[in-house]
Structure 1
Amino acid sequence: MSSPVLIPYQSFITINRSSDVFVYIQISNQLINAIQRGFLPYGTKLPGTRTLSTLLNVHRNTIVSVYDELLAQGWIESFPNKGTFVIGKEQNTATVESIRNHHLENYPKQSGFSFKTSNILDNPFEHSECDYIFNDGIPDIRLTQVDQYSGIYSSILKRKAHKIGQYNSDGSEFFKHHLSQYLNLSRGLPISKNNLLITRSTEMSMYIVSEILLSEGDTVLVGELSYFSVNMIFQRTGVTIRTVSIDDEGINVEEVRKICEKQKIRMLYLTPHHHYPTTVTLSAKRRLELLNLSQEFGFIILEDDYDYDFHYDKSPILPLASADTKGMVVYIGSFGKLLAPGFRTGFIVAPENVMTEMRKYLGIIDRQGDILMEHVLGEMIAEGEINRYLKKSLKIYKERRDCFAYLLKHHLDEFINFKIPSGGLAFWAEWKKPVNLMNLSKKCARNNLFIPKNLLYQNRKLTAMRLGFGNFTESEMEKAVEILSMNVKSILIGDKN
């Protein structure tokens, strides 16, 4: 490749004239890429500025700037009356044909090193372009007052830094102070800010808890039907998961006792306010029994109150953590779930000695936090804005819950059994006769309704679905239920014909 004009520069240099990146920078980066990959090996003579500008259809001054950039970065050197040459270690010379058949911008498809792989953390969530999508109980972001939140955020940004307050690696002191007071009043948790750890999400909270409190070989009890993401986090830690049956009063306490009498249990994971996925509430009697069992057998109760704020018919039952006097309960939850996604946060409540270790771990994985957003949330608590918004939103979600119950009864009463949940944003529907739920999901998708597989529960004993309603308006949920009903009938009734 002695002649620089033989090198097919047009094959590996492409120019995007609509890009915000200067053209000379685009060309420079691609030439550097070619040098690094050996397509322009050591000693290669580059074309003159006029020649290369003609080849790439750019102004000569652009190529002059390109060469200046390469020279400044140390990739080329120029000699008077000789030309411009590539600097670098000797490499195998690439052929013209190999350059033509290779795009420099392609990133390697495979790594050149080995690494551990696992199917435990495979993403169970699916996405679709359908107009109607069931989920497992997510709020409607269209109800959020983004302008108002943005106004508070903007006003905080304009303040002097010293007025925002001190920030530790485990969260804004201002936010923790107000959140601890909020949890005291709303959930009966007699805590101070020293019992709080602020995280980005419930899943981050779960990850930190599992890293600090669980070890390989430990045994963790979960509901026979339980939250799949949490189970994945537990499994990654290397624990053994044992399931306990669920009935209309929540987790079966007698089964828990029998297991504890036979083996050492490290942790019991619960969603007592509305069990995921069945939505049943753990009875008051069983709550007290579980607290006594945890003290008797020494296992941790990990209480996940993922939707405590969503209750409609009566005051919610207080968390187990509010009655814990022996330090056996670790409580996790989310704040601002009714708000826009960027305005939400997670938290962990635990005794101070546990907090000490958790702060160390959080300081490694999320040291900088988000002091501005936490300050916004703190002000929303201090000014009572969060309570006003919660009251307004709950009225809408209650209306949607009642409408969804009516639609399920009207269109699917002969096929499913369900109970109207006292809170939360989802229904648990069990089929009276088995139906292939994956087949049903595929049929619905062809009719513009998407039901992801993580909502489907089917085995030899059970055929059920968890159907979220919070993200639908009444007209949208009517259309969604109509599509579901139509496809159910085509499968069950059509088969008879």
Structure 2
Amino acid sequence: MDSPVEIPYKSFIKVDRKSDISIYMQITNQLINAIQRGYLPFGTKLPGTRILSQTLEVHRNTIVNVYEELYAQGWIEIQPNKGTFIIGKDQEKPIKIRDFENSNLENYPKTAGFSFKTSNILDNPFEHSNCEYIFNDGIPDIRLTQIDQHSRIYSSILKRKAHKIGQYNQDGSEFFKQNLSQYLNLSRGLPISKNNLLITRSTEMSIYIVSEILLSQNDTVLVGELSYFSVNMIFQKTGVKIETISIDNEGINVEEVRKICEKQKVRMLYLTPHHHYPTTVALSAQRRLELLNLAHEFGFIILEDDYDYEFHYDKSPILPLASADTSGMVIYIGSFGKSLAPGFRTGFIVAPENLMIEMRKYLGIIDRQGDVLMEHVLGEMISEGEINRYLKKSLKIYQERRDHFSLLLEQNLKEFINFQKPSGGLAIWAEWKYPVNLMHFSRECAKNNLFIPKTLLYQNKNLTAMRLGYGNFNFNEMEKSIEIFHKTLKSLI
């Protein structure tokens, strides 16, 4: 076996004296790494402690500790009057020590050594930019969240009640579910108990669980002609057949739904009736009743996504379809605390109890740990009325922003776009009066410090439109964004 002094130890053992990890453990771990990767094969003689300490420029006692640790872990053996050797399985032929100079033990493999399935369907559609002004699809302004207050409540509960909460039961905090069920009963007309609730992390997790349980390959799922792309991705991954339904100023076209049901078996209809995504139009009361009747008549599931119910301004919000469902055909999903700080938000599913049994099984697999303390915080915010006070304050600000953003669009862009001021939500749907290459327009805006992600652009031979979120902008930021928007547009005409 090669002489220990011929091995360039310093080329693959790097000591970081600023690290929290002790120097002797750094050296130990890197030697083990070299052994595992075959750079120091069985039988390799290690240098004496004095020589290695001089080579690595560390104290001799450090190397003594390294060798003791390697011996304790079973990587080396000490043969009296011979030296210290790497332990391993005997090889039929001696292994030549690899070229350390052209190798880097710190590099993790760039590719897997096995085959695996890939999916273009799940490619990340979201983009990021360093532009100062960024449009989104309707996200709350984190600057309005009372993070200090939320943190105080969390800290208080952690000190006062953590020992009383007990272990997570894979179905969330019972205290939170009890308070959330009462909150949904009062605010959304849902006559439910805590047994009808499943607490999730997000809308996407909710829909994934629903899809895993209720959808099979080649099932037919109906969605709006324009719909939420993340949800469509989940459906496509399930292997269902997606058929689209047109949208008008009253929401989804119910007659089209009936015609499809008369021709084939439909398993599910997904819709966002409160404010259709992305157009923000509300489903009319008459069509709501018609859809419930169709679901009962043809036996398809209605998956109702109420993603922005908390944001309504002009009048009382329209109650969910689930509040009028007497046949058990509607599954209701939503979010709670969307206007709170990101870590304080959660999702939920409302469904009949027998379906909840299966949903809890899936949640136990993908999110067994959960966050029972955070859920307890949210439950206390409901019981103490804190959530209502916070929503009332933030809604006033978002309504003012909606009105100001609408005014800016009217003053600066009315010759180019048509839009209706929405009754709620945090975004405006703008349709262009004539075709514009939206991707090119987006790139030109980015050059002027305004980023418009491709997920907000909707363009085909019949439609040129954008979904423009305003909730994250204050008045000054809105004005600067529209100024850049208008200036870029003028330069392209």
What TM-score do the two structures reach when normalised by structure 2? Answer: 0.97
Aligned to 2:19: 19
Deviates more, 1:60-69 or 1:185-194: 60-69
Q: Measure the CA separation in 1 of the matches of 2:280 and 2:161.
A: 46
Q: Measure the CA separation in 1 of the matches of 2:390 and 2:19.
A: 43
- Given residue 223 of structure 2, which amino acid in structure 1 is its aligned partner? V
Deviates more, 1:170-179 or 1:61-70: 61-70
Equivalences, count: 492
Q: Measure the CA separation in 1 of the matches of 2:10 and 2:412.
A: 63
Offset at 1:442? 1.1
Offset at 1:159? 2.7
Offset at 1:235? 0.8
Decide whether the 8 Å contact of 1:139 with 1:425 is kept in 2.
yes
Are residues 381 and 103 of structure 1, via their aligned partners in 2, closer, same or farther at CA, if it must alter by over 3 Å?
Answer: same
Are residues 95 and 439 of structure 1, via their aligned partners in 2, closer, same or farther at CA, if it must alter by over 3 Å?
Answer: farther
What pairs with 1:148-297 in structure 2 (closer than 5 Å)?
148-164=149-165, 167-297=168-298
Are residues 93 and 256 of structure 1, via their aligned partners in 2, closer, same or farther at CA, if it must alter by over 3 Å?
Answer: farther
Q: Measure the CA separation in 1 of the matches of 2:131 and 2:245.
A: 36
Offset at 1:97? 6.2
Decide whether the 8 Å contact of 2:41 with 2:97 is kept in 1.
no
| Superposition misfits of 4+ residues, deviation over 6 angstroms | none
Decide whether the 8 Å contact of 1:38 with 1:93 is kept in 2.
no
Q: Which runs of 5+ in 1 are unaligned?
A: 493-497
- Given residue 115 of structure 1, which amino acid in structure 2 is its aligned partner? F
Q: Measure the CA separation in 1 of the matches of 2:374 and 2:491.
A: 49
Q: Measure the CA separation in 2 of the matches of 1:63 and 1:474.
A: 64
Offset at 1:469? 0.7
Secondary structure at the residue paired with 1:89?
Answer: coil
Q: Measure the CA separation in 2 of the matches of 1:41 and 1:190.
A: 69
Decide whether the 8 Å contact of 1:121 with 1:232 is kept in 2.
yes
Aligned to 2:336: 335
Offset at 1:312? 0.8
Deviates more, 1:57-66 or 1:297-306: 57-66
Q: Measure the CA separation in 2 of the matches of 1:477 and 1:27.
A: 55
Aligned to 1:363: 364
Aligned to 2:64: 64
Decide whether the 8 Å contact of 1:427 with 1:468 is kept in 2.
yes
Are residues 250 and 93 of structure 1, via their aligned partners in 2, closer, same or farther at CA, if it must alter by over 3 Å?
Answer: farther
What pairs with 1:482-497 in structure 2 (closer than 5 Å)?
482-492=483-493
Secondary structure at the residue paired with 2:231?
Answer: helix
Deviates more, 1:362-371 or 1:134-143: 362-371
Q: Measure the CA separation in 2 of the matches of 1:161 and 1:338.
A: 25
Decide whether the 8 Å contact of 1:334 with 1:344 is kept in 2.
yes
Aligned to 1:98: 99
Decide whether the 8 Å contact of 1:165 with 1:174 is kept in 2.
no
Aligned to 2:74: 74
Secondary structure at the residue paired with 2:458?
Answer: strand
Aligned to 1:42: 42
Decide whether the 8 Å contact of 1:6 with 1:96 is kept in 2.
no
Aligned to 1:10: 10
Offset at 1:69? 1.4
Decide whether the 8 Å contact of 2:209 with 2:362 is kept in 1.
yes
Aligned to 1:54: 54
Decide whether the 8 Å contact of 2:162 with 2:373 is kept in 1.
no
Aligned to 1:495: none
Asked if 1:383 is matched to 2:371, the reply is no
- Given residue 239 of structure 2, which amino acid in structure 1 is its aligned partner? G
Secondary structure at the residue paired with 2:226?
Answer: coil
Decide whether the 8 Å contact of 2:275 with 2:425 is kept in 1.
yes
What pairs with 1:312-461 in structure 2 (closer than 5 Å)?
312-461=313-462
1:228-255 Cα offsets, whole Å, 9 max, x none, are 0000101111100000000111000010
Decide whether the 8 Å contact of 1:39 with 1:94 is kept in 2.
no
Aligned to 1:29: 29
1:56-101 Cα offsets, whole Å, 9 max, x none, are 1222222122111111111111123221111112467665662110
Q: Measure the CA separation in 1 of the matches of 2:16 and 2:487.
A: 49
Offset at 1:267? 0.3
Deviates more, 1:349-358 or 1:439-448: 439-448
Q: Measure the CA separation in 1 of the matches of 2:478 and 2:63.
A: 60
Secondary structure at the residue paired with 1:465?
Answer: strand
1:376-433 Cα offsets, whole Å, 9 max, x none, are 0000000000000000000011111111111212222211111111100111111111
Q: Measure the CA separation in 2 of the matches of 1:100 and 1:473.
A: 56
Q: Which runs of 5+ in 2 are unaligned?
A: none
Secondary structure at the residue paired with 2:468?
Answer: strand
Offset at 1:131? 1.4
- Given residue 138 of structure 1, which amino acid in structure 2 is its aligned partner? I
Q: Measure the CA separation in 1 of the matches of 2:414 and 2:48.
A: 80
Decide whether the 8 Å contact of 1:165 with 1:172 is kept in 2.
no
Are residues 65 and 335 of structure 1, via their aligned partners in 2, closer, same or farther at CA, if it must alter by over 3 Å?
Answer: same
Q: Measure the CA separation in 2 of the matches of 1:474 and 1:150.
A: 28
- Given residue 444 of structure 1, which amino acid in structure 2 is its aligned partner? C
Q: Measure the CA separation in 1 of the matches of 2:324 and 2:133.
A: 42
Q: Measure the CA separation in 2 of the matches of 1:408 and 1:90.
A: 77
Decide whether the 8 Å contact of 2:401 with 2:475 is kept in 1.
yes
Offset at 1:162? 4.9
Q: Measure the CA separation in 1 of the matches of 2:467 and 2:94.
A: 61
Q: Measure the CA separation in 1 of the matches of 2:195 and 2:107.
A: 50
Deviates more, 1:15-24 or 1:93-102: 93-102
Decide whether the 8 Å contact of 1:40 with 1:94 is kept in 2.
no
- Given residue 425 of structure 1, which amino acid in structure 2 is its aligned partner? L
1:118-139 Cα offsets, whole Å, 9 max, x none, are 1111111111111111111110
Q: Measure the CA separation in 1 of the matches of 2:50 and 2:132.
A: 55
Q: Measure the CA separation in 1 of the matches of 2:299 and 2:223.
A: 16
Deviates more, 1:347-356 or 1:80-89: 80-89
Q: Measure the CA separation in 1 of the matches of 2:39 and 2:469.
A: 55
